[in-house]
Amino acid sequence: MDDEERVRRWCRRVEKRRAEAERQALIAGGLLDRGVRPCADGDDLLLPLVERVEGAEEAMFKPFPHHEDLPRHELVGGIAIMQEEDRAGAARVLASRPSLHTVLFPTSAVEGEFRTREFLVLAGEETTQTVVTEHGHHFVVDLARAYFSARLSTERQRVCDEMTEGERVVDMFAGVGPFALTLADRASLVVAADLNPAAVSLLCENIRKNQKTNVIPVLADAIHLPGVFGRTFDRVIMNLPMESVQFLGAAFALCRPGGTIHFYALVDEEGKYLDAIRAFPVAEVRERRVRSYSPAEWHAVYEIEVGG
Ligand SMILES: C[S@@+](CC[C@H](N)C(=O)[O-])C[C@H]1O[C@@H](n2cnc3c(N)ncnc32)[C@H](O)[C@@H]1O
């Protein structure tokens, strides 16, 4: 195959000895572009991505011939989510990987307080439930009943890596628990709250599945958490990107001075929430792009060190 047949992709550069673990993590996160072949560059392997992520670089890749003509889809565990209602394409997607059991098409946007969406089954088993493996954790998810996105898997691991052993963490909008269970690897205690009973039920299942004894599931509106737990946490996770700003007061009422709040938000300009954040006692705040959302918007995280 000559150079003209190669395609340009964003990719992640990893040392060859770490490549398989990283490849698995990218698959679990739905980020690996499986339509093209990873390629070697000296001691490194370049892993092709379905989208640009922090630290990614561009390179040219050879397409896998048999995946070339598959319709676009995103993988979440054993489920493929297609962007078009194409039953013939769905059958080919299903046949392309033995790990897939279902192909879905979303019939609504992500909506409502619970951030869920409706799906049509295009091929395979009539289910919206699957198991996602991410950095050694296993999450039972039900895409129609509770929010889950694999796209923050690298971010979850990054936050875990920056923690010190024994921290007390609260995840105010925990969903089925991907942040809570990842951070439980280093925390002494994680309080994981969600308003959606189906999410908390799956969270309980995931706590058992991952054999965690330091995660407390709470079915509650996060606004009430300070009244129960007080200002006792070293780290607060706020992943409700459209509305987190309304809960900043509650987050500051949960985080001890010197602790860190991770405030995720959907933004269309840098610095969008800095004024809202600085209305509270802040020692330092850093803003970072996590991933792109649309051509003009991205998920940002504000990492806030709480002042006295
Ligand atoms: C964007 S999802 C994030 C879930 C999870 N942190 C993750 O990364 O997959 C937001 C979650 O917040 C929950 N939620 C919405 N409003 C809430 C509130 N007032 N208090 C607690 N949870 C809430 C929703 O049910 C949903 O599961």
**Residues 168-192: pLDDT tens digits?**
999 999 999 999 999 999 999 999 9
**Cα 96 to averaged position of ligand 1 atoms, centre (Å):** 33
- Find out whether the beta carbon of 113 lies less than 6 Å from any atom of ligand 1: yes
Whether residue 102 is found in the same domain as residue 36: no
Task: Supply 64's token pair.
Answer: 């896998």
In a domain, 203, yes or no: yes
Beta-strand relationship, 282-294 and 297-306: antiparallel
- Residues 140 and 157: their CA atoms lie apart, in Å, by 18
Among 79, 67, 77, residue whose Cα is nearest residue 120: 79
The most distant pair of C-alpha atoms in the chain lies apart, rounded to whole Å, by: 65
> What integer is the mean pLDDT of 261-287?
96
Residue 65 has pLDDT above 70, yes or no: no
Q: Choose which residue among 155, 170, 195, 219 to substitute to test ligand 1 binding: the one with the highest number of ligand atoms within 8 A of its C-beta.
A: 195
Range of lowest pLDDT (21-25, 78-82, 279-283, 288-292): 21-25
> What integer is the mean pLDDT of 137-164?
94
What is the tally of structural domains in the chain?
3
**Cα 93 to averaged position of ligand 1 atoms, centre (Å):** 30
Q: Choose which residue among 110, 194, 299 to substitute to test ligand 1 binding: the one with the highest number of ligand atoms within 8 A of its C-beta.
A: 194
Whether residue 54 is found in the same domain as residue 87: no
**Cα 193 to averaged position of ligand 1 atoms, centre (Å):** 8
Among 130, 139, 3, 140, residue whose Cα is nearest residue 63: 3
The residue segments making up the domain with residue 61 are 3-67
Among 73, 71, 80, 117, residue whose Cα is nearest residue 101: 80
- Residues 182 and 288: their CA atoms lie apart, in Å, by 21
In a domain, 244, yes or no: yes
Whether residue 86 is found in the same domain as residue 63: no
- Find out whether the beta carbon of 219 lies less than 6 Å from any atom of ligand 1: no
* Atom 12 in ligand 1: residue holding the nearest Cα: 173
Whether residue 88 is found in the same domain as residue 171: no
Residue 162 has pLDDT above 70, yes or no: yes
* Atom 24 in ligand 1: residue holding the nearest Cα: 114
Whether residue 157 is found in the same domain as residue 258: yes
Residue 307 · residue 283 · CB < 8 Å: yes
Whether residue 192 is found in the same domain as residue 277: yes
DSSP-assigned letters across all residues of 54-77: TT-EEEEEEEPGGGTTSPPEEEET
- Using the Cα atoms of residue 202, residue 203, residue 204 and residue 208 in order, give the sign of their dihedral: positive
- Find out whether the beta carbon of 196 lies less than 6 Å from any atom of ligand 1: yes
**Residues 67-116: pLDDT tens digits?**
557 899 999 999 999 999 999 999 999 998 888 999 999 999 999 999 99
The pLDDT value recorded for residue 1 is 46
Higher pLDDT, 272 or 66: 272
Q: Choose which residue among 141, 179, 229, 240 to substitute to test ligand 1 binding: the one with the highest number of ligand atoms within 8 A of its C-beta.
A: 240
The pLDDT value recorded for residue 67 is 55
In a domain, 134, yes or no: no
How far apart, in Å, are the Cα atoms of 31 and each of 43, 90, 293?
22, 19, 14
> What integer is the mean pLDDT of 37-47?
92
Radius of gyration for the chain, computed over Cα atoms and rounded to the nearest angstrom: 20
Task: Supply 71's token pair.
Answer: 């319709």
Whether residue 102 is found in the same domain as residue 30: no
Whether residue 276 is found in the same domain as residue 188: yes
In a domain, 182, yes or no: yes
In a domain, 300, yes or no: yes
- Residues 138 and 168: their CA atoms lie apart, in Å, by 22
Whether residue 215 is found in the same domain as residue 96: no
CA 201 to chain CA mean position, Å: 19
Give me the CATH number covering residue 229: 3.40.50.150
- Find out whether the beta carbon of 147 lies less than 6 Å from any atom of ligand 1: yes
Whether residue 59 is found in the same domain as residue 95: no
pTM of the predicted structure, to 2 decimals:
0.80
In a domain, 145, yes or no: no
Task: Supply 25's token pair.
Answer: 């993590």
Ligand 1: atom nearest CA of 113 is: 15
Residue 25 has pLDDT above 90, yes or no: no
Residue 5 has pLDDT above 60, yes or no: yes
**Residues 226-238: pLDDT tens digits?**
999 999 999 999 9
**φ, ψ dihedrals at 184, nearest 5°:** -65, -15
**Cα 85 to averaged position of ligand 1 atoms, centre (Å):** 28
**φ, ψ dihedrals at 65, nearest 5°:** -55, -40
In a domain, 250, yes or no: yes
Ligand 1: atom nearest CA of 237 is: 6
In a domain, 143, yes or no: no
**Cα 135 to averaged position of ligand 1 atoms, centre (Å):** 21
CB under 8 Å to 227, separation ≥6 — which residues? none
**Cα 6 to averaged position of ligand 1 atoms, centre (Å):** 41
CB under 8 Å to 112, separation ≥6 — which residues? none
Whether residue 185 is found in the same domain as residue 164: yes
- Find out whether the beta carbon of 239 lies less than 6 Å from any atom of ligand 1: yes
Whether residue 104 is found in the same domain as residue 7: no
**Angle subtended by helix axes 153-162 and 19-28, to nearest 10:** 120
Strand order in the sheet with 215-219: 215-219, 189-194, 168-171, 233-238, 255-267, 297-306, 282-294
Q: One-letter amino acid identity for 70?
A: L
CB under 8 Å to 220, separation ≥6 — which residues? 193, 194, 195, 228
- Find out whether the beta carbon of 179 lies less than 6 Å from any atom of ligand 1: yes
